[in-house]
Structure 1
Protein backbone atom coordinates (compact mmCIF):
# COMPACT_ATOMS: atom_id res chain seq x y z
CA UNK A 1 0.00 0.00 0.00
CA UNK A 2 1.11 3.53 -0.69
CA UNK A 3 1.71 6.30 1.83
CA UNK A 4 -1.18 7.56 3.93
CA UNK A 5 0.66 10.71 4.95
CA UNK A 6 -1.77 13.66 5.15
CA UNK A 7 0.39 15.59 2.69
CA UNK A 8 0.02 12.86 0.06
CA UNK A 9 -3.76 12.95 0.29
CA UNK A 10 -4.34 16.65 0.90
CA UNK A 11 -3.67 17.79 -2.68
CA UNK A 12 -6.11 15.39 -4.39
CA UNK A 13 -8.73 15.94 -1.69
CA UNK A 14 -8.52 19.71 -2.05
CA UNK A 15 -8.75 19.38 -5.83
CA UNK A 16 -12.04 17.53 -5.43
CA UNK A 17 -13.29 20.40 -3.28
CA UNK A 18 -12.17 22.79 -6.02
CA UNK A 19 -14.46 20.92 -8.42
CA UNK A 20 -17.32 21.76 -6.06
CA UNK A 21 -16.27 25.40 -6.24
CA UNK A 22 -16.20 25.26 -10.05
CA UNK A 23 -19.73 23.95 -10.01
CA UNK A 24 -20.82 26.83 -7.78
CA UNK A 25 -19.20 29.35 -10.13
CA UNK A 26 -20.73 27.71 -13.21
CA UNK A 27 -24.21 27.96 -11.75
CA UNK A 28 -23.83 31.46 -10.27
CA UNK A 29 -21.95 33.16 -13.10
CA UNK A 30 -22.95 31.15 -16.16
CA UNK A 31 -26.47 30.19 -15.04
CA UNK A 32 -25.77 26.49 -15.71
CA UNK A 33 -28.77 24.33 -14.80
CA UNK A 34 -27.66 21.24 -12.81
CA UNK A 35 -30.77 19.17 -13.55
CA UNK A 36 -29.80 18.11 -17.11
CA UNK A 37 -26.32 17.26 -15.80
CA UNK A 38 -27.86 15.06 -13.09
CA UNK A 39 -29.88 13.27 -15.77
CA UNK A 40 -26.76 12.90 -17.93
CA UNK A 41 -24.84 11.35 -15.02
CA UNK A 42 -27.56 8.86 -14.16
CA UNK A 43 -28.55 7.78 -17.66
CA UNK A 44 -25.29 7.98 -19.63
CA UNK A 45 -22.01 8.73 -17.84
CA UNK A 46 -22.39 6.39 -14.83
CA UNK A 47 -23.48 3.35 -16.91
CA UNK A 48 -20.61 3.77 -19.39
CA UNK A 49 -18.09 4.37 -16.61
CA UNK A 50 -18.98 1.15 -14.83
CA UNK A 51 -19.33 -0.86 -18.02
CA UNK A 52 -15.75 0.13 -18.84
CA UNK A 53 -14.54 -0.77 -15.35
CA UNK A 54 -16.22 -4.17 -15.46
CA UNK A 55 -14.83 -5.02 -18.88
CA UNK A 56 -11.33 -4.01 -17.81
CA UNK A 57 -11.47 -5.90 -14.51
CA UNK A 58 -12.89 -9.06 -15.99
CA UNK A 59 -15.64 -10.14 -13.55
CA UNK A 60 -14.75 -13.34 -11.68
CA UNK A 61 -16.84 -15.21 -9.06
CA UNK A 62 -14.63 -13.81 -6.28
CA UNK A 63 -14.94 -10.25 -7.54
CA UNK A 64 -18.68 -10.58 -7.98
CA UNK A 65 -18.94 -11.95 -4.44
CA UNK A 66 -17.44 -8.66 -3.24
CA UNK A 67 -20.01 -6.78 -5.32
CA UNK A 68 -22.83 -8.84 -3.80
CA UNK A 69 -21.51 -8.43 -0.26
CA UNK A 70 -21.32 -4.62 -0.51
CA UNK A 71 -24.76 -4.52 -2.13
CA UNK A 72 -26.20 -6.48 0.81
CA UNK A 73 -24.40 -4.37 3.44
CA UNK A 74 -25.50 -1.10 1.82
CA UNK A 75 -29.09 -2.26 1.45
CA UNK A 76 -29.26 -3.52 5.05
CA UNK A 77 -27.97 -0.21 6.46
CA UNK A 78 -30.36 1.78 4.28
CA UNK A 79 -33.43 -0.31 5.12
CA UNK A 80 -32.69 -0.13 8.84
CA UNK A 81 -32.11 3.62 8.63
CA UNK A 82 -35.33 4.09 6.67
CA UNK A 83 -37.30 2.24 9.33
CA UNK A 84 -35.83 4.42 12.09
CA UNK A 85 -35.90 7.70 10.13
CA UNK A 86 -39.64 7.55 9.49
CA UNK A 87 -40.18 8.07 13.23
CA UNK A 88 -38.29 11.36 13.32
CA UNK A 89 -38.44 12.91 9.83
CA UNK A 90 -40.96 13.67 7.12
CA UNK A 91 -41.40 11.38 4.13
CA UNK A 92 -38.96 13.20 1.85
CA UNK A 93 -36.31 13.75 4.53
CA UNK A 94 -36.47 10.12 5.70
CA UNK A 95 -36.17 8.94 2.08
CA UNK A 96 -33.16 11.22 1.58
CA UNK A 97 -31.50 10.02 4.79
CA UNK A 98 -32.20 6.36 3.98
CA UNK A 99 -30.69 6.68 0.50
CA UNK A 100 -27.60 8.48 1.78
CA UNK A 101 -27.05 6.02 4.63
CA UNK A 102 -26.49 3.10 2.27
CA UNK A 103 -23.88 4.77 0.13
CA UNK A 104 -20.93 7.15 0.13
CA UNK A 105 -18.92 9.16 -2.37
CA UNK A 106 -17.02 6.03 -3.33
CA UNK A 107 -16.84 6.98 -7.01
CA UNK A 108 -16.44 10.70 -7.60
CA UNK A 109 -14.38 11.15 -4.40
CA UNK A 110 -13.17 7.73 -3.25
CA UNK A 111 -11.83 6.42 -6.56
CA UNK A 112 -9.17 9.14 -6.98
CA UNK A 113 -8.10 8.48 -3.36
CA UNK A 114 -8.00 4.72 -4.02
CA UNK A 115 -5.67 5.32 -6.96
CA UNK A 116 -3.28 7.02 -4.54
CA UNK A 117 -3.32 4.65 -1.55
CA UNK A 118 -3.92 1.26 -3.19
CA UNK A 119 -1.77 -0.92 -5.47
CA UNK A 120 -3.17 -1.96 -8.85
CA UNK A 121 -4.83 -5.14 -7.55
CA UNK A 122 -6.30 -3.15 -4.66
CA UNK A 123 -7.87 -0.66 -7.07
CA UNK A 124 -9.54 -3.55 -8.93
CA UNK A 125 -10.92 -4.91 -5.65
CA UNK A 126 -12.10 -1.43 -4.71
CA UNK A 127 -13.91 -1.06 -8.05
CA UNK A 128 -15.91 -4.24 -7.55
CA UNK A 129 -16.80 -3.20 -4.00
CA UNK A 130 -17.79 0.21 -5.36
CA UNK A 131 -19.96 -1.50 -7.97
CA UNK A 132 -21.99 -3.19 -5.24
CA UNK A 133 -22.67 0.16 -3.58
CA UNK A 134 -23.52 1.73 -6.94
CA UNK A 135 -25.97 -1.08 -7.72
CA UNK A 136 -27.57 -0.38 -4.35
CA UNK A 137 -27.88 3.32 -5.27
CA UNK A 138 -29.70 2.59 -8.51
CA UNK A 139 -31.94 -0.21 -7.21
CA UNK A 140 -32.82 -0.35 -3.49
CA UNK A 141 -31.59 3.19 -2.82
CA UNK A 142 -33.40 4.68 -5.80
CA UNK A 143 -36.55 2.84 -4.75
CA UNK A 144 -36.36 4.18 -1.17
CA UNK A 145 -35.81 7.69 -2.52
CA UNK A 146 -38.66 7.46 -4.98
CA UNK A 147 -40.99 6.15 -2.29
CA UNK A 148 -40.60 9.54 -0.59
CA UNK A 149 -42.75 10.98 -3.37
CA UNK A 150 -44.01 8.22 -5.68
CA UNK A 151 -46.11 5.08 -5.40
CA UNK A 152 -44.61 1.58 -5.38
CA UNK A 153 -45.52 1.09 -9.04
CA UNK A 154 -44.06 4.43 -10.09
CA UNK A 155 -40.88 3.77 -8.09
CA UNK A 156 -40.34 0.36 -9.68
CA UNK A 157 -40.98 1.85 -13.12
CA UNK A 158 -38.25 4.43 -12.51
CA UNK A 159 -35.78 1.70 -11.51
CA UNK A 160 -36.53 -0.33 -14.65
CA UNK A 161 -35.59 2.71 -16.75
CA UNK A 162 -32.12 3.00 -15.20
CA UNK A 163 -29.47 1.96 -17.76
CA UNK A 164 -26.76 1.17 -15.20
CA UNK A 165 -28.54 -2.10 -14.44
CA UNK A 166 -28.42 -3.07 -18.11
CA UNK A 167 -24.79 -1.95 -18.43
CA UNK A 168 -23.94 -4.31 -15.56
CA UNK A 169 -25.84 -7.20 -17.15
CA UNK A 170 -24.28 -6.52 -20.57
CA UNK A 171 -20.78 -6.63 -19.06
CA UNK A 172 -21.54 -9.92 -17.31
CA UNK A 173 -22.94 -11.49 -20.49
CA UNK A 174 -19.99 -10.36 -22.62
CA UNK A 175 -17.48 -11.60 -20.03
CA UNK A 176 -19.21 -14.98 -19.65
CA UNK A 177 -19.08 -15.42 -23.44
CA UNK A 178 -15.42 -14.43 -23.56
CA UNK A 179 -16.20 -11.39 -25.69
CA UNK A 180 -14.69 -7.93 -25.39
CA UNK A 181 -15.56 -4.67 -27.16
CA UNK A 182 -13.08 -3.59 -29.84
CA UNK A 183 -10.01 -1.73 -28.62
CA UNK A 184 -11.21 1.46 -30.29
CA UNK A 185 -14.44 1.33 -28.28
CA UNK A 186 -12.63 0.72 -24.98
CA UNK A 187 -10.20 3.55 -25.75
CA UNK A 188 -13.08 5.90 -26.46
CA UNK A 189 -14.52 5.09 -23.03
CA UNK A 190 -11.34 6.22 -21.25
CA UNK A 191 -12.70 9.76 -20.90
CA UNK A 192 -15.70 8.72 -18.81
CA UNK A 193 -14.10 8.06 -15.36
CA UNK A 194 -12.62 11.57 -15.20
CA UNK A 195 -15.87 13.06 -16.51
CA UNK A 196 -17.79 11.07 -13.91
CA UNK A 197 -15.66 12.51 -11.08
CA UNK A 198 -15.61 16.08 -12.39
CA UNK A 199 -19.34 16.45 -13.06
CA UNK A 200 -20.29 14.48 -9.96
CA UNK A 201 -18.43 16.91 -7.70
CA UNK A 202 -19.42 20.00 -9.68
CA UNK A 203 -23.10 19.19 -9.34
CA UNK A 204 -22.79 19.61 -5.57
CA UNK A 205 -21.57 23.15 -6.10
CA UNK A 206 -24.26 23.86 -8.69
CA UNK A 207 -26.95 22.83 -6.24
CA UNK A 208 -25.34 24.80 -3.40
CA UNK A 209 -25.51 27.93 -5.54
CA UNK A 210 -29.29 27.82 -5.11
CA UNK A 211 -29.30 27.00 -1.43
CA UNK A 212 -30.73 29.42 1.10
CA UNK A 213 -30.36 29.37 4.89
CA UNK A 214 -33.94 28.12 5.13
CA UNK A 215 -32.77 24.81 3.62
CA UNK A 216 -30.47 24.09 6.59
CA UNK A 217 -31.80 21.18 8.66
CA UNK A 218 -29.62 20.58 11.71
CA UNK A 219 -31.22 17.24 12.61
CA UNK A 220 -30.90 15.88 9.09
CA UNK A 221 -27.29 17.03 8.70
CA UNK A 222 -26.35 15.58 12.10
CA UNK A 223 -27.99 12.27 11.23
CA UNK A 224 -26.20 12.13 7.85
CA UNK A 225 -22.82 12.93 9.45
CA UNK A 226 -23.40 10.33 12.16
CA UNK A 227 -24.22 7.58 9.67
CA UNK A 228 -21.34 8.50 7.37
CA UNK A 229 -18.57 9.02 9.91
CA UNK A 230 -19.62 6.73 12.76
CA UNK A 231 -21.78 3.87 11.46
CA UNK A 232 -19.85 3.20 8.23
CA UNK A 233 -16.33 3.31 9.72
CA UNK A 234 -17.41 0.94 12.48
CA UNK A 235 -19.16 -1.37 10.00
CA UNK A 236 -16.19 -1.62 7.64
CA UNK A 237 -13.69 -2.00 10.50
CA UNK A 238 -15.76 -4.80 12.03
CA UNK A 239 -16.03 -6.48 8.61
CA UNK A 240 -12.26 -6.37 8.09
CA UNK A 241 -11.49 -7.71 11.58
CA UNK A 242 -13.99 -10.57 11.24
CA UNK A 243 -12.77 -11.52 7.77
CA UNK A 244 -9.16 -11.54 8.98
CA UNK A 245 -10.05 -13.91 11.78
CA UNK A 246 -12.30 -16.21 9.75
CA UNK A 247 -10.75 -16.53 6.31
CA UNK A 248 -7.81 -14.15 6.13
CA UNK A 249 -7.82 -11.39 3.51
CA UNK A 250 -4.97 -9.58 1.72
CA UNK A 251 -4.02 -6.12 3.01
CA UNK A 252 -5.11 -4.54 -0.29
CA UNK A 253 -8.69 -5.81 0.19
CA UNK A 254 -8.71 -4.72 3.83
CA UNK A 255 -7.58 -1.25 2.80
CA UNK A 256 -10.20 -1.07 0.04
CA UNK A 257 -12.96 -1.96 2.51
CA UNK A 258 -11.72 0.55 5.09
CA UNK A 259 -11.58 3.29 2.48
CA UNK A 260 -15.23 2.66 1.61
CA UNK A 261 -16.09 3.47 5.21
CA UNK A 262 -14.42 6.90 5.43
CA UNK A 263 -15.45 8.68 2.23
CA UNK A 264 -17.97 11.55 2.57
CA UNK A 265 -21.63 11.38 1.63
CA UNK A 266 -22.35 10.44 -1.96
CA UNK A 267 -22.71 13.24 -4.47
CA UNK A 268 -25.38 11.00 -5.98
CA UNK A 269 -27.54 11.99 -3.01
CA UNK A 270 -27.84 15.35 -4.75
CA UNK A 271 -28.12 13.80 -8.21
CA UNK A 272 -30.95 11.43 -7.25
CA UNK A 273 -32.70 14.00 -5.05
CA UNK A 274 -32.66 16.43 -7.97
CA UNK A 275 -33.92 13.80 -10.41
CA UNK A 276 -36.79 12.84 -8.06
CA UNK A 277 -37.45 16.26 -6.57
CA UNK A 278 -36.87 15.30 -2.92
CA UNK A 279 -35.13 18.11 -1.02
CA UNK A 280 -31.96 18.45 -3.17
CA UNK A 281 -30.90 21.63 -1.30
CA UNK A 282 -30.97 19.87 2.07
CA UNK A 283 -29.08 16.96 0.55
CA UNK A 284 -26.47 19.29 -0.94
CA UNK A 285 -25.81 20.95 2.42
CA UNK A 286 -25.34 17.60 4.15
CA UNK A 287 -23.02 16.43 1.37
CA UNK A 288 -21.02 19.66 1.63
CA UNK A 289 -20.52 19.29 5.40
CA UNK A 290 -19.22 15.72 5.11
CA UNK A 291 -17.07 16.65 2.09
CA UNK A 292 -15.44 19.56 3.93
CA UNK A 293 -14.66 17.22 6.84
CA UNK A 294 -13.11 14.60 4.55
CA UNK A 295 -9.60 16.10 4.11
CA UNK A 296 -9.29 16.30 7.89
CA UNK A 297 -10.83 12.94 8.77
CA UNK A 298 -9.74 10.52 6.04
CA UNK A 299 -5.99 10.40 6.91
CA UNK A 300 -6.77 10.19 10.65
CA UNK A 301 -9.51 7.60 10.26
CA UNK A 302 -7.52 5.37 7.92
CA UNK A 303 -4.43 5.48 10.13
CA UNK A 304 -6.43 4.61 13.24
CA UNK A 305 -8.48 1.88 11.56
CA UNK A 306 -5.39 0.26 10.07
CA UNK A 307 -3.82 0.08 13.52
CA UNK A 308 -6.99 -1.36 15.05
CA UNK A 309 -7.13 -3.95 12.29
CA UNK A 310 -3.49 -4.87 12.88
CA UNK A 311 -2.34 -3.54 9.52
CA UNK A 312 -0.71 -0.29 10.59
Structure 2
Protein backbone atom coordinates (compact mmCIF):
# COMPACT_ATOMS: atom_id res chain seq x y z
CA UNK A 1 0.00 0.00 0.00
CA UNK A 2 1.14 3.55 -0.78
CA UNK A 3 0.96 5.62 2.40
CA UNK A 4 -0.64 9.04 1.69
CA UNK A 5 1.26 10.33 4.71
CA UNK A 6 4.52 9.89 2.81
CA UNK A 7 3.34 12.56 0.37
CA UNK A 8 2.35 15.12 2.98
CA UNK A 9 5.92 16.18 3.78
CA UNK A 10 6.76 17.22 0.20
CA UNK A 11 3.33 18.80 -0.18
CA UNK A 12 3.52 21.00 2.90
CA UNK A 13 7.07 22.05 2.07
CA UNK A 14 6.05 23.11 -1.44
CA UNK A 15 2.95 24.92 -0.19
CA UNK A 16 5.08 26.76 2.39
CA UNK A 17 7.31 27.98 -0.45
CA UNK A 18 4.21 29.09 -2.38
CA UNK A 19 3.04 30.98 0.71
CA UNK A 20 6.42 32.70 1.04
CA UNK A 21 6.14 33.83 -2.57
CA UNK A 22 2.66 35.20 -1.96
CA UNK A 23 3.87 37.16 1.08
CA UNK A 24 6.92 38.47 -0.79
CA UNK A 25 4.81 39.82 -3.63
CA UNK A 26 2.01 41.18 -1.42
CA UNK A 27 4.02 42.85 1.31
CA UNK A 28 7.48 43.37 -0.19
CA UNK A 29 6.37 44.20 -3.74
CA UNK A 30 8.78 41.61 -5.17
CA UNK A 31 8.51 41.30 -8.96
CA UNK A 32 8.60 37.62 -10.05
CA UNK A 33 9.68 38.31 -13.64
CA UNK A 34 13.41 38.82 -12.93
CA UNK A 35 13.33 35.68 -10.77
CA UNK A 36 11.83 33.68 -13.65
CA UNK A 37 14.61 34.95 -15.92
CA UNK A 38 17.21 34.03 -13.30
CA UNK A 39 15.80 30.50 -13.03
CA UNK A 40 15.75 29.89 -16.77
CA UNK A 41 19.09 31.43 -17.70
CA UNK A 42 21.27 30.67 -14.67
CA UNK A 43 19.92 28.44 -11.90
CA UNK A 44 18.29 25.73 -14.05
CA UNK A 45 21.34 25.19 -16.32
CA UNK A 46 23.74 24.90 -13.37
CA UNK A 47 21.36 22.54 -11.55
CA UNK A 48 21.03 20.44 -14.69
CA UNK A 49 24.80 20.35 -15.28
CA UNK A 50 25.46 19.30 -11.68
CA UNK A 51 22.85 16.54 -11.82
CA UNK A 52 24.25 15.07 -15.02
CA UNK A 53 27.87 15.12 -13.93
CA UNK A 54 27.04 13.62 -10.52
CA UNK A 55 24.87 10.91 -12.04
CA UNK A 56 27.65 9.54 -14.20
CA UNK A 57 25.61 9.24 -17.41
CA UNK A 58 25.98 5.81 -19.00
CA UNK A 59 24.58 4.98 -22.47
CA UNK A 60 21.68 3.18 -20.78
CA UNK A 61 20.82 6.13 -18.58
CA UNK A 62 21.10 8.56 -21.49
CA UNK A 63 18.83 6.35 -23.57
CA UNK A 64 16.25 6.63 -20.79
CA UNK A 65 16.65 10.42 -20.80
CA UNK A 66 16.24 10.49 -24.58
CA UNK A 67 13.14 8.28 -24.39
CA UNK A 68 11.45 10.57 -21.83
CA UNK A 69 12.42 13.62 -23.87
CA UNK A 70 10.82 12.08 -26.96
CA UNK A 71 7.69 11.03 -25.04
CA UNK A 72 7.24 14.45 -23.46
CA UNK A 73 7.75 16.17 -26.82
CA UNK A 74 5.24 13.90 -28.54
CA UNK A 75 2.64 14.49 -25.83
CA UNK A 76 3.06 18.25 -26.09
CA UNK A 77 2.88 18.30 -29.89
CA UNK A 78 -0.29 16.19 -29.94
CA UNK A 79 -2.01 18.27 -27.24
CA UNK A 80 -0.94 21.44 -29.04
CA UNK A 81 -2.69 20.31 -32.22
CA UNK A 82 -5.90 19.55 -30.32
CA UNK A 83 -5.72 22.58 -28.02
CA UNK A 84 -5.49 25.08 -30.88
CA UNK A 85 -9.01 24.07 -31.92
CA UNK A 86 -10.61 24.88 -28.57
CA UNK A 87 -8.48 27.50 -26.83
CA UNK A 88 -7.01 30.93 -27.69
CA UNK A 89 -3.41 30.94 -28.90
CA UNK A 90 -1.72 31.80 -25.59
CA UNK A 91 -3.78 29.37 -23.50
CA UNK A 92 -3.25 26.66 -26.10
CA UNK A 93 0.52 27.24 -26.03
CA UNK A 94 0.57 27.08 -22.23
CA UNK A 95 -1.50 23.89 -22.24
CA UNK A 96 0.86 22.34 -24.79
CA UNK A 97 3.88 23.14 -22.63
CA UNK A 98 2.24 21.70 -19.50
CA UNK A 99 1.22 18.55 -21.41
CA UNK A 100 4.82 17.45 -21.82
CA UNK A 101 5.94 17.93 -18.26
CA UNK A 102 5.03 17.51 -14.60
CA UNK A 103 6.37 18.33 -11.16
CA UNK A 104 8.87 15.49 -11.44
CA UNK A 105 11.55 17.39 -9.52
CA UNK A 106 10.14 19.62 -6.77
CA UNK A 107 7.38 17.14 -5.84
CA UNK A 108 8.27 13.85 -7.50
CA UNK A 109 11.86 13.49 -6.30
CA UNK A 110 11.08 13.51 -2.55
CA UNK A 111 8.33 10.98 -3.21
CA UNK A 112 10.72 8.82 -5.28
CA UNK A 113 13.22 8.82 -2.42
CA UNK A 114 10.49 7.47 -0.12
CA UNK A 115 9.08 4.84 -2.49
CA UNK A 116 12.11 3.65 -4.49
CA UNK A 117 15.46 2.01 -3.66
CA UNK A 118 18.67 3.92 -4.57
CA UNK A 119 18.85 2.35 -8.06
CA UNK A 120 15.25 3.32 -8.66
CA UNK A 121 15.94 6.91 -7.58
CA UNK A 122 18.85 7.08 -10.06
CA UNK A 123 16.63 5.80 -12.87
CA UNK A 124 13.96 8.30 -11.88
CA UNK A 125 16.50 11.16 -11.96
CA UNK A 126 17.46 10.38 -15.55
CA UNK A 127 13.75 10.33 -16.43
CA UNK A 128 13.50 13.78 -14.85
CA UNK A 129 16.45 14.99 -16.93
CA UNK A 130 14.61 13.99 -20.11
CA UNK A 131 11.50 15.90 -19.04
CA UNK A 132 13.59 18.94 -18.06
CA UNK A 133 15.39 18.89 -21.40
CA UNK A 134 11.99 18.90 -23.11
CA UNK A 135 10.87 21.93 -21.04
CA UNK A 136 13.70 24.11 -22.25
CA UNK A 137 13.72 23.01 -25.90
CA UNK A 138 10.53 21.72 -27.51
CA UNK A 139 8.32 22.93 -24.65
CA UNK A 140 9.81 26.42 -24.70
CA UNK A 141 9.40 26.56 -28.48
CA UNK A 142 5.73 25.56 -28.34
CA UNK A 143 5.10 28.14 -25.62
CA UNK A 144 6.85 30.87 -27.57
CA UNK A 145 4.82 30.04 -30.67
CA UNK A 146 1.77 31.27 -28.75
CA UNK A 147 2.83 34.82 -29.62
CA UNK A 148 6.09 34.71 -31.60
CA UNK A 149 6.98 33.65 -35.14
CA UNK A 150 8.85 30.43 -35.89
CA UNK A 151 12.10 32.33 -36.37
CA UNK A 152 11.70 34.32 -33.16
CA UNK A 153 10.85 31.16 -31.22
CA UNK A 154 13.90 29.29 -32.54
CA UNK A 155 16.15 32.24 -31.70
CA UNK A 156 14.83 32.20 -28.13
CA UNK A 157 15.69 28.49 -27.84
CA UNK A 158 19.26 29.01 -29.08
CA UNK A 159 19.72 31.55 -26.30
CA UNK A 160 18.74 29.07 -23.58
CA UNK A 161 21.92 28.03 -21.70
CA UNK A 162 20.39 24.76 -20.46
CA UNK A 163 21.00 23.21 -23.88
CA UNK A 164 24.67 24.07 -23.65
CA UNK A 165 24.83 22.87 -20.04
CA UNK A 166 23.55 19.49 -21.24
CA UNK A 167 26.15 19.33 -24.02
CA UNK A 168 28.92 20.42 -21.64
CA UNK A 169 27.99 17.65 -19.18
CA UNK A 170 28.07 15.07 -21.98
CA UNK A 171 31.45 16.40 -23.11
CA UNK A 172 32.86 16.11 -19.59
CA UNK A 173 31.56 12.56 -19.33
CA UNK A 174 32.75 11.54 -22.80
CA UNK A 175 36.26 12.87 -22.23
CA UNK A 176 36.44 11.39 -18.73
CA UNK A 177 36.93 14.83 -17.17
CA UNK A 178 36.15 15.47 -13.52
CA UNK A 179 34.60 18.68 -12.24
CA UNK A 180 36.79 20.11 -9.42
CA UNK A 181 35.46 19.30 -5.96
CA UNK A 182 35.39 22.97 -4.97
CA UNK A 183 33.19 23.76 -7.96
CA UNK A 184 30.80 20.88 -7.22
CA UNK A 185 30.56 22.05 -3.61
CA UNK A 186 29.63 25.50 -4.87
CA UNK A 187 27.01 24.08 -7.24
CA UNK A 188 25.38 22.10 -4.40
CA UNK A 189 23.29 25.14 -3.41
CA UNK A 190 21.53 25.36 -6.78
CA UNK A 191 19.05 22.42 -6.59
CA UNK A 192 17.49 23.73 -3.37
CA UNK A 193 17.49 27.27 -4.76
CA UNK A 194 15.81 26.01 -7.92
CA UNK A 195 13.03 24.37 -5.90
CA UNK A 196 12.53 27.31 -3.54
CA UNK A 197 12.34 30.03 -6.20
CA UNK A 198 10.35 27.85 -8.61
CA UNK A 199 7.58 27.35 -6.07
CA UNK A 200 7.74 30.92 -4.74
CA UNK A 201 6.99 32.21 -8.24
CA UNK A 202 3.64 30.42 -8.09
CA UNK A 203 2.77 32.32 -4.91
CA UNK A 204 3.99 35.62 -6.35
CA UNK A 205 1.82 35.10 -9.40
CA UNK A 206 -1.21 34.05 -7.35
CA UNK A 207 -0.95 37.28 -5.36
CA UNK A 208 -1.97 39.13 -8.54
CA UNK A 209 -4.79 36.79 -9.53
CA UNK A 210 -8.36 38.06 -9.61
CA UNK A 211 -11.54 36.00 -9.88
CA UNK A 212 -11.77 36.68 -13.61
CA UNK A 213 -8.46 34.86 -14.13
CA UNK A 214 -10.14 31.58 -13.17
CA UNK A 215 -10.65 29.84 -16.52
CA UNK A 216 -12.60 26.63 -15.97
CA UNK A 217 -12.08 25.36 -19.49
CA UNK A 218 -8.31 25.86 -19.42
CA UNK A 219 -7.92 24.38 -15.92
CA UNK A 220 -10.11 21.38 -16.85
CA UNK A 221 -7.93 20.74 -19.89
CA UNK A 222 -4.75 20.92 -17.77
CA UNK A 223 -6.17 18.51 -15.17
CA UNK A 224 -7.42 16.11 -17.87
CA UNK A 225 -3.97 15.95 -19.47
CA UNK A 226 -2.00 15.67 -16.23
CA UNK A 227 -4.23 13.28 -14.27
CA UNK A 228 -6.02 11.61 -17.16
CA UNK A 229 -3.74 11.26 -20.17
CA UNK A 230 -0.36 10.95 -18.44
CA UNK A 231 -1.24 8.04 -16.12
CA UNK A 232 -2.67 6.19 -19.13
CA UNK A 233 0.48 6.82 -21.18
CA UNK A 234 2.71 5.70 -18.30
CA UNK A 235 0.66 2.51 -17.93
CA UNK A 236 0.85 1.74 -21.66
CA UNK A 237 4.60 2.44 -21.69
CA UNK A 238 5.27 -0.02 -18.86
CA UNK A 239 2.96 -2.69 -20.33
CA UNK A 240 4.58 -2.25 -23.76
CA UNK A 241 8.10 -2.60 -22.35
CA UNK A 242 7.05 -5.63 -20.27
CA UNK A 243 5.79 -7.31 -23.43
CA UNK A 244 9.25 -7.21 -25.01
CA UNK A 245 11.75 -7.03 -22.13
CA UNK A 246 12.27 -8.18 -18.60
CA UNK A 247 11.57 -4.75 -17.17
CA UNK A 248 13.17 -4.07 -13.76
CA UNK A 249 10.62 -3.18 -11.10
CA UNK A 250 12.60 -0.06 -10.19
CA UNK A 251 12.39 1.28 -13.75
CA UNK A 252 8.69 0.45 -14.02
CA UNK A 253 7.96 2.29 -10.76
CA UNK A 254 10.03 5.29 -11.87
CA UNK A 255 8.04 5.53 -15.12
CA UNK A 256 4.71 5.21 -13.29
CA UNK A 257 5.70 7.95 -10.84
CA UNK A 258 6.54 10.31 -13.72
CA UNK A 259 3.01 9.72 -14.95
CA UNK A 260 1.17 10.68 -11.75
CA UNK A 261 2.91 13.79 -10.39
CA UNK A 262 1.04 17.14 -10.44
CA UNK A 263 1.59 19.93 -12.95
CA UNK A 264 5.08 21.41 -13.18
CA UNK A 265 5.90 24.67 -11.42
CA UNK A 266 7.96 25.51 -14.50
CA UNK A 267 4.66 26.08 -16.32
CA UNK A 268 4.48 29.35 -14.40
CA UNK A 269 8.21 30.09 -14.78
CA UNK A 270 8.15 29.79 -18.58
CA UNK A 271 4.79 31.57 -18.85
CA UNK A 272 6.22 34.43 -16.79
CA UNK A 273 9.32 34.68 -19.00
CA UNK A 274 7.27 34.67 -22.22
CA UNK A 275 4.32 36.67 -20.90
CA UNK A 276 1.69 34.03 -21.70
CA UNK A 277 -1.01 33.92 -19.02
CA UNK A 278 1.11 33.03 -15.95
CA UNK A 279 -1.87 33.70 -13.63
CA UNK A 280 -3.94 30.96 -15.26
CA UNK A 281 -1.01 28.57 -15.12
CA UNK A 282 -0.44 29.32 -11.43
CA UNK A 283 -4.04 28.47 -10.53
CA UNK A 284 -3.87 25.15 -12.42
CA UNK A 285 -0.52 24.22 -10.86
CA UNK A 286 -1.77 24.98 -7.34
CA UNK A 287 -4.98 22.97 -7.76
CA UNK A 288 -3.19 19.87 -9.11
CA UNK A 289 -0.58 20.11 -6.34
CA UNK A 290 -3.31 20.21 -3.68
CA UNK A 291 -4.99 17.18 -5.27
CA UNK A 292 -1.75 15.17 -5.53
CA UNK A 293 -1.70 13.56 -2.03
CA UNK A 294 -5.20 12.19 -2.63
CA UNK A 295 -4.73 11.09 -6.23
CA UNK A 296 -1.15 9.75 -6.32
CA UNK A 297 -1.68 6.83 -3.85
CA UNK A 298 -4.91 5.91 -5.67
CA UNK A 299 -3.24 6.02 -9.08
CA UNK A 300 -0.09 4.17 -8.07
CA UNK A 301 -2.01 1.39 -6.34
CA UNK A 302 -4.16 0.89 -9.42
CA UNK A 303 -1.28 1.08 -11.89
CA UNK A 304 0.84 -1.32 -9.83
CA UNK A 305 -1.97 -3.87 -9.93
CA UNK A 306 -2.56 -3.44 -13.66
CA UNK A 307 1.13 -3.91 -14.44
CA UNK A 308 1.50 -6.90 -12.10
CA UNK A 309 4.17 -5.22 -9.97
CA UNK A 310 2.32 -5.63 -6.70
Shorter-chain TM-score: what band? over 0.9
2:2 corresponds in structure 1 to 4
Greater CA drift, 302-311 or 260-269: 302-311
1:246 corresponds in structure 2 to 244
Q: Which of 135, 146, 152 is matched with 1:137 structurally? A: 135
Q: Is the 8 A contact 1:16 1:109 kept in 2?
A: yes
TM-fit CA distance, 1:237: 1.1
TM-fit CA distance, 1:221: 0.3
CA distance in 1, matches of 2:44, 2:121: 18
CA distance in 1, matches of 2:83, 2:208: 26
CA distance in 2, matches of 1:8, 1:148: 38
TM-fit CA distance, 1:260: 0.5
Flag structure 1 segments of 5+ consecutive residues without an equivalent.
none
Q: Is the 8 A contact 1:109 1:197 kept in 2?
A: no
2:60 corresponds in structure 1 to 62
Asked if 1:260 corresponds to 2:246, the answer is no
2:25 corresponds in structure 1 to 27
1:85 corresponds in structure 2 to 83
TM-fit CA distance, 1:19: 1.4
2:232 corresponds in structure 1 to 234
Q: Secondary structure at the match of 2:188?
A: helix
Q: Is the 8 A contact 1:14 1:295 kept in 2?
A: no
1:36 corresponds in structure 2 to 34
CA distance in 1, matches of 2:2, 2:13: 17
1:103 corresponds in structure 2 to 101
CA distance in 2, matches of 1:9, 1:269: 22
Q: Secondary structure at the match of 1:200?
A: helix
1:256-311 per-residue CA deviation (whole Å, 9 max, x = no partner) reads: 11110111111111011110011111111111111111121112211221121111
CA distance in 2, matches of 1:209, 1:135: 29
1:161 corresponds in structure 2 to 159
Flag structure 2 segments of 5+ consecutive residues without an equivalent.
none
TM-fit CA distance, 1:190: 1.2
Moved segments of 4+, more than 4 Å: none
Tell me the TM-score normalized by structure 2. 0.97
TM-fit CA distance, 1:107: 1.5
